[in-house]
Chain A
Amino acid sequence: EAGVVQSPRYKIIEKKQPVAFWCNPISGHNTLYWYLQNLGQGPELLIRYENEEAVDDSQLPKDRFSAERLKGVDSTLKIQPAELGDSAVYLCASSLDGNSGNTIYFGEGSWLTVV
């Protein structure tokens, strides 16, 4: 069974440029998450989707970040414009649903460097 797939794995951009990350969750998983991981820190939630609905986006900096999950499967996370402080790993994850007993599975991450 394929895991959570993310692309691109690595991206280097200049500040003020836009960037987009794509995620394909595990088949059948209704809940999709985007996490941000800074160096030396644990992952922190940016946004959570139940099917195509964003049910928790309280930590998403909406002035420059946006996300969508059309048709309730794949998702994209966009940053426009990127800032130096956005350099981090962007992790996509999925689970069967949002209940606590369901394990959350992570992709390999998209590593962003803003120069």
Chain B
Amino acid sequence: DQQVKQNSPSLSVQEGRISILNCDYTNSMFDYFLWYKKYPAEGPTFLISISSIKDKNEDGRFTVFLNKSAKHLSLHIVPSQPGDSAVYFCAARSGNTPLVFGKGTRLSVIA
């Protein structure tokens, strides 16, 4: 049973447009959510996070939105750049339990 789901394995977006990556979760006990970005042959790199007490967190071009009632979060990248092309993982945890990851979404930003 997957607790964190990224239902879109891939996404293509034109440079300069908005990229929206989605993530759904089933465990209502999750209280902290993170997005990681992964380039080929590298480890995941932390991108942005949000606590369950908030519904939005913004860092430059990256914004994460959390909808607790829908158990849904999304990552917005605007404007998208070719260097944003990577695999994006959504992850969640509660208390001191391990991070649970989704399967990832491969973003391709086309110049």
The residues of A with any CB-CB pair to B shorter than 8 Å are 4, 6, 33, 40-45, 48, 56, 91, 93, 97-101, 103-109, 111
Contacts and interface: CB of A to CB of B under 8 A. Distances in A.
A93 B43 CA distance: 9
The dominant DSSP class at the A interface is: loop
16 contacts: A6-B43, A41-B104, A42-B4, A42-B89, A43-B44, A43-B89, A56-B98, A91-B43, A97-B96, A98-B96, A100-B32, A103-B46, A104-B99, A106-B45, A107-B43, A111-B41
A101 B43 contact: no
Nearest to B46: A103
A99 B96 contact: yes
B65 to A, nearest CB: 19
Contact of B34 (A41, A103, A107): A103
Question: Quick one: which of B41, B46, B94, B98 has the most chain A CB within 10 A?
Answer: B98
Given A42-B104, A99-B95, A107-B43, 5 more contacts: A43-B89, A45-B99, A91-B43, A101-B32, A108-B41
Contacts, number: 58
Interface of B: 4, 31-32, 34, 36, 41-46, 49, 51, 89, 91, 93-99, 101-104
Contacts of B101: 42-44
A42 B98 CA distance: 13
A86 to B, nearest CB: 18
A64 to B, nearest CB: 21
Contacts of A40: 103-104
A41 B103 contact: yes
